[in-house]
Amino acid sequence: MWIQKLHSLGLLSGSFLLSDTLQELRTYYYHRQHLIEQLATYTHKMQKALRLMNLRLDVAIRDITSKSGLAIVDAIL
């Protein structure tokens, strides 16, 4: 009974055991968070590399309806 009370007050958080299903879900959640952080890092590095090559992809996408915007996208692809 005391252990339940301490758990409800958050004083024994280290001894809380999750079920197998919740442990698996937690693993997937943390893995997904890690993948999202990696994706953001890689995207930032790609944008930085494109800017160093003087390729303004954001301008090309904004101007994609014109022939010059499509030419830039074709050149990149």
Quote the pLDDT of residue 30: 94
Rounded alpha-carbon distances, angstroms, from residue 23 to 6, 7, 28: 22, 18, 9
pTM: 0.47
pLDDT confidence of residue 14:
64
Would you state the pLDDT for residue 31? 96
Mean pLDDT by runs of 10 across the 77 residues of the chain is 77 72 91 94 88 77 70 78
What is the rounded distance in angstroms from the CA atom of residue 62 to the CA atom of residue 65?
Answer: 8
